[in-house]
Amino acid sequence: MSILYILDLLGTLVFAISGTLSAANKKLDLFGAFFTGFITAIGGGTLRDLILGNFPVAWISDLNYLIVITIGVLATFLFKGMIMQLKRTLFLFDTIGIGVFTIIGIEKAISLSIHPVLAIIMGLFSAVMGGVIRDTLCNDIPLIFRKEIYATACLIGGVLFIFLGFLGVSSSVNQFITISCIIAIRIICIRFKISLPVLKY
């Protein structure tokens, strides 16, 4: 098992937890929580695979995703007090998660000979669409549309990843640099309250 795969599962776990917490916010029942956690965790990758025509989609061919998601949802249900105290840890893994999902999305797209610019968009979709679907299901305007730099960190990371790839940097070094970069951008933007301009009427 590669480190990227383990990080992928960790990211999936954290996304499932975030989906379950959203569900709790809306007073959903256990099924609603499981469903929301599940969709949040697999939504981005599924949409990416559908658009790329890459069948079967990731979680259909590997049962580990479902197992990790089930653990995440049940743990949140049983120990939500404890889990909500882990906010810093969750934040870190969430950020690692979007970094890993971005890279996996780009690599899948590249392996299918997609144009690099579109591959970056596929990476972005992998990272953020789960959260977009979660917020839409829970009847909120997607958070990433007005939150601190989040999707933008993935975009910048994606451009860097493609650029270093062209320079011939080896895949694993490139992955490490890109994920670190995404984490750094997000933390810096939060600390210094940097955000994107808003379009007003």
Give the footprint of a second copy on this chain (CB under 8 A). 20, 23-33, 35-36, 46, 50-53, 55-57, 59-60, 63, 66, 76-77, 80, 114-115, 117-118, 121, 132, 136-142, 144-146, 151-152, 155, 195-201
In angstroms, give the least distance from the CB of 96 to a second copy. Answer: 20
* Identity of the residue, 106 or 121, whose beta carbon is nearer to a second copy in the bound complex: 121
* Identity of the residue, 181 or 196, whose beta carbon is nearer to a second copy in the bound complex: 196
* Identity of the residue, 155 or 164, whose beta carbon is nearer to a second copy in the bound complex: 155
DSSP 118: H
User: From CA 177, how far away is CA 171, in angstroms rounded?
Assistant: 10
In angstroms, give the least distance from the CB of 69 to a second copy. Answer: 11
DSSP 144: G
Q: What is the number of residues in the chain?
A: 201
Element (H, E) at 15: helix 3-25
* Identity of the residue, 140 or 180, whose beta carbon is nearer to a second copy in the bound complex: 140
Do 68 and 40 meet the contact criterion of CB atoms below 8 Å apart? Answer: no
User: From CA 101, how far away is CA 153, in angstroms rounded?
Assistant: 12
In angstroms, give the least distance from the CB of 116 to a second copy. Answer: 10
In angstroms, give the least distance from the CB of 182 to a second copy. Answer: 14
User: From CA 160, how far away is CA 181, in angstroms rounded?
Assistant: 9
* Identity of the residue, 55 or 168, whose beta carbon is nearer to a second copy in the bound complex: 55
Pair of tokens at residue 63 = 């049962």
Burial of 197 from C-beta contacts in 10 A (0-12 / 13-18 / 19+):
exposed
In angstroms, give the least distance from the CB of 175 to a second copy. Answer: 24
DSSP 27: T
